[in-house]
Structure formats: C-alpha cells, structure tokens
Amino acid sequence: MEATAQKIHEYINHINDELFGVNRYIYQNPEVGFQEKKCSLKLVEVLRKHAFEVTYPVAGIDTAFQATFSHGAKTPHIAVLAEYDALPEIGHACGHNLIATAALGAGLSISQLLSSVQGKVSVIGTPAEEVLSNSGKTQLLKAGLFNDIDVAMMVHPHGNTWLDRPFLSVDEVSVRFLGKSSHAASSPYLGINAYDAIQLTFIGLSFLRQQLRQDAKIHWGDIKVAGSKNVIPDASSATINVRALDDQYTKEVRGKVVNCVKGAALMTGCTADYEVAEGYRAMKYNRHMNKLFGENIRGLGVVIDELPKHGEAASTDMGNVSLVVPSIQPFFKIKDGVTPHTVEFREAAGTEAAFEAMLIATRAMAKTAFDLLSTPEWLRQARNEFEST
C-alpha cells in the first residue's frame, strides 16, 4: 500500500471505535430536517476533541456547523460534507448516519496529513437534505459559506458502488384550493368542492406524464382536505414535485403543472393559491475528481458497478453545491439489492457490514482530498474543468 494510503488506513483503525460510536448514536437517534440537535452536537463534540475550530451553529441554522483544521497556509481549502437528517417515520432509511460518519472520519484523517502539505480542511454539517427545497446546503450557499472553498466532496450509501449516478433537478409547487362548504346531502349544489380541484389537478398531471421526456418525474404528497364526510370541503392543499435531468426542462414542466392547477380551479370554481419554489439543481460532477476517487477506491479492492440503463435517479442539494464549487458524491455499496427510502435500506444502514463499507469509502475520500492538496496541478485541472463546463 502506498505510504499516504497506509497512514490513512492506520489512523482510521486508530479511531475506529470512536467512529463506530458516532455512527451508532446517529442511527439510534433519528432526527428529521432542521431538528438534528443531538446528532449535530455529537459530531461537533468529537471534532472539538480533535482540535478542530468549530462554528456552531452557523449561518443562522441551529443544527448546521463548520469545523476547520489548517496547517500553514489557509489554501487550498477542502470541504467534506456531512448529512445527518432522518426521514419521517422510517428513520435513517437513506443512511445519513453513514454519510455523517464518513465525513467525520475523512475530515479527521485529512487533518493528520496536513503537516506534510499546505492547506485547510472543513467538515461542514449540512442539515435537512431530505426536505427538497430551502435545505441546509442551499441556505449555507446563500450565506456564503462555500465562497472560499476550492473543492467539496461527500459519499453516499446505496445498493451499488457508483462514481457518478445522475441527480435530477427538482422544483416544488405548493397549492391550496379554496371553495365553499355546504351540506353534502341536502344542499351540495351550494358548495364549491376544493377536494374535486385537488383530484382534477392529479388527473391532469397523470395525463401530462405521457407527453413528458423519459427523465421527467412528477409526484405529490402532503394532501390535506378540510371538513367531514358529509360536508362539501371548502379547502384542500397538496405539494407537487417536478424533476428532470436539467434545470431548464424542470422549469418548463413546472409551468405545465401550474397550468393543471389553474385548469382545476377553472373547472370547479375554486380559487387557487400556489407557490413555486426552486429546489435542488442537477448534479454537475467533476470528472477529474471522480477519476481520482475511482482510482483510490479501486485500490482498496472495491469494484465499481455499471450504471443501469433506465431509472435510478434522485435529487440532492449537493447539486446546488456543484454549481458553485467542483464537487463529487460517489456511492458505496452497503448491501446488494437495497434502495434508499425503504425499511430494508434502514435495516442495512445499521449493520456492521455497512459500517465497514463506509470505512473503505472514507479512506478513499481522504486519499482523494490529499491527492488534490499535495498536487497543485490536479487541483488546477479540477478547477479548469469546472469553469469550462
């Protein structure tokens, strides 16, 4: 094993128990977006123990933090990103406990290597990745937290090991229909049915799907209807998400969704109040950084899986980061056949096998960061690629 990789390997072995404890703590204390007080504090406590300079909270977000360690010059500046929010009801079914622990392990490992190079590493705690709009990363970007960062990286658990799985752009339409209530049996003709407006919107969206590009997705949830079963409902609401491989087409489809909302209001006589929110942007992978990470994780005995020909695309606020700074988010396999946001994935994310797979990805991420810090030409190539695309 090459000398730097050996140092990383030995150091991660040294802190193995500490990382395992953090991973178990986050997994056993699932907290949804912007409520991750226990998990963020646990990460901050460990980083402070290892002499990182910590700002917590940061950018006005109670559960966000920036922990920095530098040696000599303040540049180059590498950011390793931690996610730690859970999903409602099903806990860490996206494996953010592993993401947070990987960021912690990589950040600590990089700090041990800085005596041989010039530079700085930050572990940035980014809450609420699962909310799809106005998330932790998007708010940290607006606050300027990434302005002095040269490259950013994180890793994500999955049922496959991939370097560059596509991530979709996503926007959100929140709609509320207002109608008029009346008795559903004796005087329904006096009512204006807000629930009918929701139903007609969904019917319109279902017909719209046939006319969309194959990469486009429309889905909805958070459906609420006012009134009991014998009352014509006078209010209803829903949240609709629109996704596609590029930001421009997402915006185009979003406009079609709004037209379905307007049409439902016209058909029912309801008033439609709606808000459009830009969510996550499509991921702009840095191929040069991906290549380095791929070489490093292959050097640890990991086989990169082939991407499927169809499907397998989600959304992440790491896409927003990738438009500001050269970024990567590779995937590492924790168990064959599992997919995120399922009970099966949650169970897999809590196993020792998943923790061991995460340690390998952590070593590869730390080595990739060191490669960029120690070889200015590679860092320039990553930046030139970012600026040219």
pLDDT tens across 251-310, in order?
Answer: 999 999 999 999 999 999 999 999 999 999 999 999 999 999 999 999 999 999 998 877
Beta-ladder partners of 55: 66
pLDDT at site 311: 64
Mean pLDDT across the chain, nearest whole number? 96
Q: Return the axis-axis angle of helices 352-374 and 3-14, rounded to nearest 10°.
A: 140
Closest CA to 132 of 215, 31, 33, 251: 33
Q: Are 99 and 362 in contact (CB under 8 A)?
A: no
The CA–CA distances, whole Å, from 372 to 48, 150, 292, 300, 379 equal 25, 10, 9, 18, 5
Looking at 95-190, list the stretches that DSSP marks H as alpha helix, in order from N- to C-terminal side: 96-113, 136-142
Helices (H), the chain: 3-14, 16-28, 37-49, 96-113, 136-142, 194-208, 247-268, 287-298, 318-322, 343-349, 352-374, 376-388
pLDDT in tens, 62-116: 999 999 999 877 889 999 999 999 999 999 999 999 999 999 999 999 999 999 8
Encoded tokens for 203? 């019917």
pLDDT greater than 90 at residue 2: no
Condensed to tens digits (0 to 9), the pLDDT of residues 103-145 reads 999 999 999 999 989 899 999 999 999 998 899 999 999 999 9
- What is the CA 142 to chain-centroid distance, rounded? 17
Q: How confident is the model at residue 35 (pLDDT cuts 50, 70, 90)?
A: very high
Amino acid residing at 336: D
Integer Cα distance of 250 and 215 in angstroms = 10
Please state, in angstroms and rounded to a whole number, the distance separating the CA atoms of residues 225 and 202.
Answer: 14
pLDDT of 327 above 90? yes
Q: What are the φ/ψ torsions at residue 335 (nearest 5 degrees)?
A: -170, 135
Per-residue confidence band for 1, with pLDDT thresholds at 50, 70 and 90: low
User: What CA–CA distance (Å, rounded) separates 250 from 220?
Assistant: 15
Q: Model confidence over 159-182: pLDDT tens digits?
A: 999 998 889 999 999 999 999 999
Bond before 166 cis per omega within 30 degrees: no
**Tens-place pLDDT, residues 184-217:** 999 999 999 999 999 999 999 999 999 999 999 9
pLDDT of 142-158, one tens digit each? Answer: 999 999 999 999 999 99
Q: Give pLDDT, residue 62.
A: 98
Contact 364, 110 (CB under 8 A): no
**Which residues, in sequence order, are bridge partners of residue 80?**
123, 153
- Answer whether residue 349 shows pLDDT above 90: yes
Token couple for 229: 């079963």
| pLDDT given at position 309 | 77
Burial class (CB in 10 A: 0-12, 13-18, 19+), 119: buried
In this prediction, residue 275 carries a pLDDT of 96
The C-alpha atoms of residue 167 and residue 157 are separated, in whole angstroms, by: 15
User: Residues 353-374: pLDDT tens digits?
Assistant: 999 999 999 999 999 999 999 9
- Determine the Cα–Cα distance for residues 85 and 106; give it in Å rounded to an integer: 19
